[in-house]
Structure 1
Amino acid sequence: MKDEVLDTHSKALKINLDPRWYGTFAEIGAGQEVVRWFFRVGGAAGTVAKSMSAYDMKVSDAIYGHADRYVSRNRLQAMLDREFDLDVERLGQERADTTSFFAFADTVVARGYRGGHEFHGWMGMKFQSRANDQPSQIVMHVRMLDEEASAQQEALGIVGVNLCYGAFFLSHVPEELVESLLDNLTARR
């Protein structure tokens, strides 16, 4: 049976206070909302090795390689692979025996000033369940149904924290992990 649902603040703080996980948040396009939660709740220095955002397509290409589509599963995979590999390469010698590395990434198009887009994105985690494990991965497509850009950003941040929390604490119970993705949201968002 599922325990009481933690609010988004509590989930982000629980992750920040757990010394096992350390990694990168990479958010491109309209998706700079997830890592903000981890900074807002405090204790992010124990979780966030790097936070980055690449809004310009040329900048994104310089980091992750050329993409025909920027809001796509292929772009997300390039982000996850690159950021996870960099964490292990840069921090592995010092922390590999005590740290489970992760990379969170999203690539999103949300309601803009001129409107007119399909409001959706790709979000994922590449993570080690335990130190020195081979990484696991969760990838999902998100569709934002809110009409206002600020509400879309809020929902994106919440589902991103839910994904991180699910990967770290519920990956051994996939049904609960999937169900938890909408914690503190409704299906209409």
Structure 2
Amino acid sequence: MMAAADAHWSADARAAEEALFGDTLACEAVLPAGFVPGGAANASRAEALLLGLARVEDLRGGDDAGEDKRGELPLLAQRLDAKLDLVLALLARLVRQSGRPLPPVPLRWSVRGLRLRLPERAEPPAAGTAGAVCLQPADWLPDELELPVVVAACDRTGDAVQVWLRFPDLPEGLEEAMGRHLFRMHRRQVAGARRR
């Protein structure tokens, strides 16, 4: 995603890319996400969501083994796990039907910030604009993670608008929880690449 477009990016966009992702773990994914200019985010709620997500993934053996670890669970636990998957999928579907779902967008994410593609024909926000980024951190979890951000740069290449969003100083607990979540995402991506 980065290599093809970065030659066309402005100097500000390239500087933002280096500031947000240079010398730190970053994950690329396609997730339901969006930027809300002027939006507010609750750091303690975001931290609680990431910590709860980590606990569930630990209990499910969810890092890179996925379905392989399920076979090691007792049969009753496997049944409960499968039922929980079904209930969460149903709940996610109901939540999406009741509101406007976030569109899946390509993004790059580190503990310093995100780069994401805005919808076509979106008005590029000005650098320095404060707001919130909303994203769905797990496909099975029908809840959105809301994080405070400031626009570091914005760049239009053809119809695509990329925006670089940096996190302001976050509470230490939230930064640690996000770092652990990104590490888990990275491990899953590496495991998925190995299986191909």
Larger relative contact order (CA 8 Å, sep ≥ 6): 2
Tell me, yes or no, whether TM beats 0.5: no
TM range (shorter): under 0.3
TM normalised by structure 2 equals 0.26
TM normalised by structure 1 equals 0.27
